[in-house]
């Protein structure tokens, strides 16, 4: 008898000897209330659950909860197809496993001149197709691959095509801050729409107005519930917590996070530049003395802003500093800045795949597979994501 398999994100699946993750006559999916974090050892290597239910490291008790629910999958769901691009195949596999499905077979290759070739190996005629492809670095390569995948599905007579974009590249180019600039976020939205996508599923867009750039329906999922579930496992007195926004632009995000984190107090790092080639002046609004500071942002790129903010928090008497973000872009020299001792822990999600050389001891990676999988499930069945018990998913 085959042993059950434990996957990141709280999934436990009983494989069928003939169909490893799903059987056409007895499919089921298993839902878990929480997202299980992927921890790392001191050497930076990931710590994964073992197939026999044991673990290579101790996890908080709520992360090993056995409170799961099995929900039958109807035979009509064979019309639901999930395909992965080359940007983040591991996340796509976790989403498919959560839903009790197998990833669709797709052939993607590069020609000698750099052109991208895509061919679907499975029929999608009349199917509801979901393409998992974040437009993370290299952004142009992954974006073009997504567009060609959408075109291939459209020409293969797919009934509906949803672009699942865990990380939406070019999202920061969402307005004209100076004259004669482009608004690349709108351009990318137009490209995805014109390629043939019927819907977009995105996670933690850099700014809310980016949803308005799409002329097709967009489901915006927030990664906060995954991070909040993990922070709830930390033995930290709520009176000692303070949520910190690393800049003025992220105050609304930090305020919403603080409200869900036992209505913790809020502090803001105010960054001002007096002029060109003049050093930045950092001011702290709020009290962090003797407290555990949790810095919240949507992404960490070079980590310059969040590292300077953490240094200021330590100067103001913060006991510990945690950094939380959904998208870990980690452009150089981000790893050096994050691993130099300023942070007690750096908590990220797997919307962007992390290279092995970028692991460091303070890093914790949480999976958003359950969150995205549940959203895909509800979109496919035309269900709302805003009523109980799924209101905590943060689906717009």
SS3 59: coil
- Structure confidence at residue 282 (pLDDT): 87
Q: Residue 11 — very low, low, confident or very high, per pLDDT cuts 50/70/90?
A: very low
| Cα angle, residue 85 at apex, residues 80 and 87 outer, rounded to 5° | 135
Q: Which pLDDT tens digit goes with each residue over 331-363?
A: 999 999 999 999 999 999 999 999 999 999 999
266-273/280-285 β-pairing? antiparallel
Q: Which two tokens stand for residue 247?
A: 């800049």
Q: Which pLDDT tens digit goes with each residue over 25-74?
A: 333 333 333 444 445 444 444 444 333 344 433 333 333 333 334 344 44
Cβ neighbourhood burial of 293 (10 Å; 0-12, 13-18, 19+) = buried
Residue 76: pLDDT over 70: no
Cα–Cα distance for residue pair 147/125, rounded to 1 Å: 19
Model confidence, pTM: 0.79
Q: Which pLDDT tens digit goes with each residue over 78-124?
A: 799 999 999 999 999 999 999 999 999 999 999 999 999 999 999 99
| Cα angle, residue 349 at apex, residues 289 and 317 outer, rounded to 5° | 10
The CATH fold of domain 224-352: Rossmann fold (3.40.50)
Average pLDDT rounded to a whole number, residues 370-376 = 95
Residues 389 and 217 sit within 8 Å (Cβ to Cβ)? no
Domain 80-175+182-221 has CATH 3.40.50.2020: yes
Q: For the chain, where do the domains classified as CATH 3.40.50.2020 start and end?
A: 80-175+182-221, 224-352
Question: Read out DSSP for 193-245?
Answer: HHHT-SEEEEES-SSGGGGGG-SS-EEEE-SHHHHHHHHTTS---GGGEEEEE
Give Cα 289 to chain centroid, integer Å. Answer: 32
């Amino acid at each position: 008898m085959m042993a059950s398999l434990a996957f990141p994100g709280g999934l436990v699946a009983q494989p069928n000897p003939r169909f490893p993750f799903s059987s056409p006559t007895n499919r089921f999916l298993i839902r878990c209330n929480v997202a299980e974090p992927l921890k790392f050892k001191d050497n930076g290597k990931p710590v994964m659950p073992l197939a026999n239910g044991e673990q290579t490291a101790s996890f908080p008790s709520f992360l090993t909860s056995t409170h799961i629910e099995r929900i039958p999958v109807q035979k009509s769901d064979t019309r639901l197809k999930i395909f992965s691009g080359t940007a983040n195949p591991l996340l796509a596999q976790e989403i498919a496993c959560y839903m009790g499905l197998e990833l669709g077979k797709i052939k993607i290759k590069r020609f000698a001149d750099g052109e991208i070739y895509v061919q679907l190996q499975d029929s999608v005629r009349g199917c509801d197709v979901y393409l998992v492809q974040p437009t993370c670095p290299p952004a142009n390569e992954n974006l073009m691959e997504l567009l060609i995948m959408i075109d291939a599905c459209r020409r293969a007579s797919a009934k509906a095509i949803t672009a699942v974009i865990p990380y939406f590249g070019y999202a920061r180019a969402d307005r004209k801050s100076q004259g004669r600039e482009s608004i690349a976020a709108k351009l990318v939205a137009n490209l995805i729409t014109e390629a043939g996508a019927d819907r977009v599923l995105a996670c933690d867009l850099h700014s809310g107005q980016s949803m308005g750039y799409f002329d097709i329906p967009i489901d915006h999922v927030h990664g906060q519930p995954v991070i909040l579930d993990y922070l709830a496992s930390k033995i930290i007195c709520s009176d000692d917590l303070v949520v910190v926004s690393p800049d003025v632009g992220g105050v609304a995000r930090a305020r919403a996070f603080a409200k869900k984190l036992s209505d913790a107090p809020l502090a803001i790092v105010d960054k001002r530049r007096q002029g060109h080639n003049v050093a930045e002046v950092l001011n702290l609004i709020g009290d962090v003395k003797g407290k555990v500071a949790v810095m919240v942002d949507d992404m960490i790129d070079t980590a310059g802003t969040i590292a300077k903010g953490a240094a200021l928090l330590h100067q103001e008497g913060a006991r510990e500093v945690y950094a939380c973000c959904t998208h870990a872009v980690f452009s150089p020299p981000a790893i050096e800045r994050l691993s130099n001792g300023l942070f007690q822990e750096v908590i990220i999600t797997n919307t962007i795949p992390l290279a092995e050389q970028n692991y460091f001891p303070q890093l914790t990676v949480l999976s958003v597979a359950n969150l995205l999988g549940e959203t895909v499930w509800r979109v496919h069945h035309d269900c709302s994501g805003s009523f109980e018990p799924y209101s905590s998913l943060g689906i717009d």
